[in-house]
Amino acid sequence: MATAKWEDALAELAQRRSCGTAELRKHLEWPVEGALFDVERNGLWCSAWGLRPPDPAAAIDLARSHLEQAPKLVPVRGHRYLPAGRGAFGHPVLSIVQTDIVFYGTDIADYITNEFDGGHISAAGRTASRIVESWWSTTTRPLDRTAHLPPTVLAQPWQRTRRLFEV
């Protein structure tokens, strides 16, 4: 990687660290808010949360209480996040948009190479750390997107059950 690209990448990461409290809070809350958007608009529901309340506001409140128990995510750049945790290193970088989670690097250095130097995400890098294995596992797996939908809607393939970031 050219030195200028690394310097640009590191400068951008450093700039993120110096953002104001309100902006940082927005970035920290964004993954949960994205999941709640899917609860409200796309029928996301996890069977581990129990029965989905019929009242949409109550469903969002219950989902929020479960999602707030999930390990925190540290914003890196845009919608790229590192799972927070102590006693381990080499956390993978994940791209998170609502409940769509994509692996972007085995650690921050691998992510920078992939993002800024045209690196390729290797199959070996898809093995997630123990922290990611447990990330949202108690709060979001398995997902049941169809429990509250009428049978006529179930014909839509995008409405069927799917799982988040499986390892």
pLDDT in tens, 26-44: 888 999 999 999 999 999 9
Q: Which helix (H) or strand (E) holds 72?
A: none
Domain boundaries, the chain: 3-159
Cα R_g (the chain), whole angstroms = 18
Residue where the block lists tokens 């929020």:
64
d(CA 122, CA 88): 22
Per-residue confidence band for 1, with pLDDT thresholds at 50, 70 and 90: very low
Per-residue confidence band for 83, with pLDDT thresholds at 50, 70 and 90: confident
Per-residue confidence band for 156, with pLDDT thresholds at 50, 70 and 90: very low
- pTM > 0.75: no
Average pLDDT, the chain: 72
pLDDT of residue 146 exceeding 60, the answer is no
Q: Which helix (H) or strand (E) holds 81?
A: strand 80-83
Other CB atoms within 10 Å distance of the CB of residue 163:
12
Residue where the block lists tokens 């029928």:
43
Average pLDDT in the 146-159 region? Answer: 39
| Percent of the chain topping pLDDT 90 | 25
d(CA 116, CA 123): 19
For the chain, how far is it from start to end, CA to CA, in angstroms?
30
Higher-confidence residue: 149 or 80?
Answer: 80
Other CB atoms within 10 Å distance of the CB of residue 106:
22
Q: What is the per-residue pLDDT for 119?
A: 62
Q: Which of 117-121, 131-135, 144-148, 161-165 has the highest mean pLDDT?
A: 117-121
d(CA 36, CA 59): 9
